[in-house]
Amino acid sequence: MKNSLLPLTAVFAVSMLALTACGDNGDGDAEDAAANSGDNGTADNSADNGGNDAAEGVLATVDHMYGPTEVLAPEDGELRVVALGWSDAEVALALGVEPIAVHDWLGFGEETHGVGPWAADLFNEDPEVIERSEEIDYEYIQSLDPDLILNVNSGYDQAEYDRLAEIAPTISGPEGAENYNPGWDNQTQLIADALGLSEEGEELIAETREKIAAARAEHPEFEGVEAITGSKFGEAYGLSYTGDMRWDLIEMLGFQMYGPAADMEPDEGFFANVSEEQVEVFDAEVAILFPIGYSLEELENDPLIASLDVIREDRAVLLDEGDLSMAFSAGSPLSIELVLDELTPQLAEAVENLN
């Protein structure tokens, strides 16, 4: 069954493929950069370390931006989880928990259960796939009889949270987080804590950091190379900043932001609109560009993009709308692994063309 849902605060994020997750500044050695990535100053999100809550019948007590939330252990042992936030379902799956319903932010469809193909096989039973729409269907969510609602990577709205919390214990983002910017590691730990799997969450974060650090160590040529991640959508262009996992991951691999791009003021904390007159901010030593609502061919044929030296000298990685581009946007531990496997060799080729 499909239903439709979209937080009222998510219109911007959907149009921009919900630029998500937080990263570090990329300085220092590979291990330090990976270990420090995504820390929004919320290193400990759990009041009682998730599953270590002593109260009888309480699975976890989790602190988030709207205060502490108690998650009760279901009598039958089967926790019914509705995953509404961007990539929240993928994080739960990586921790071994199958949500009963998934908000399909990227439009994967029922074939992959509303998550990326890299995560689809982790479902043993088909979940309800919730399509994007202009508002949340609270009655539908209530009909699912959830024990827990995950809305961690989302547009943070008090009224929306309050209504969801009337249905079931609801976990939002960490205190102080901007909309759609909890930090991939904070998102992972909050979800793990809520599921009573705090230690497993810590292990998943550590493993992901190790993979990023290993990829960086394999490519010392990335260190200090000036780069950007940008997009073409509608009749406009966009530039990613810290808080968009797509840029954060590039930075964690050792790249640094191209000076003219870094000098721009983000419009939404982690994204800047780029006018036609400003497209030269994409002309870094290396550029990663992707279309939103456009084809790769349309991106390649854009005369302003095609005029850039980074394009003409084959120092750009242009992503189509396939699995790699989707994984680059998803920003979950599962999708990061795919990006490291497939994008890193393309970045190495682009850097080689600098010489």
Residue type, 311: I
| 159 DSSP assignment | H
Q: Which residues of 179-193 are buried (b: 16+ CB within 10 A; e: fewer)?
A: bbbbbbbbbbbbbbb
Cα separation, 235 vs 124, in Å, equals: 42
Reading the block at residue 326, the tokens are 């989707």
Task: Write the CB contacts of 322 (distance below 8 Å, at least 6 apart in sequence).
Answer: none
Reading the block at residue 7, the tokens are 């937080």
Cα separation, 145 vs 80, in Å, equals: 8
Task: Write the CB contacts of 13 (distance below 8 Å, at least 6 apart in sequence).
Answer: 19, 20, 86, 155, 179, 180
Closest CA to 188 of 292, 338, 334: 334
- Indicate the class that CATH gives domain 2-18+37-210: alpha beta
Go through the chain and tell me how many residues it has.
355
Cα separation, 352 vs 355, in Å, equals: 6
3-state SS of 13-24? HHHCCCCCCCCC
pLDDT tens for the chain, residues 1 to 355? 444 444 333 333 444 443 333 333 333 343 443 434 444 333 344 444 444 444 569 999 999 999 999 999 998 889 999 999 999 999 999 999 999 999 999 889 999 999 999 999 999 999 999 997 668 899 999 999 999 999 999 999 999 999 999 999 999 999 999 898 899 999 999 999 999 999 999 999 999 999 999 999 999 999 999 999 999 887 789 999 888 889 999 999 999 999 999 999 887 678 889 999 999 999 999 999 998 877 888 889 999 999 999 999 999 999 987 899 999 989 999 999 999 999 999 999 999 999 7
Closest CA to 336 of 168, 240, 205, 176: 205
E strand segments, the chain: 2-5, 58-64, 67-72, 81-83, 101-103, 128-132, 148-150, 170-171, 226-233, 236-240, 256-257, 271-274, 286-292, 316-318
Helix axis angle for 333-352 and 245-252, nearest 10°, is 60
Segments of the chain assigned to CATH 3.40.50.1980? 2-18+37-210, 215-352
- Under CATH, domain 215-352 is a member of which superfamily? Nitrogenase molybdenum iron protein domain (3.40.50.1980)
Name the pTM for this structure: 0.85
Could you tell me if residue 104 is left (phi over 0), alpha (psi between -120 and 50 degrees) or otherwise beta?
beta
Residue type, 269: G
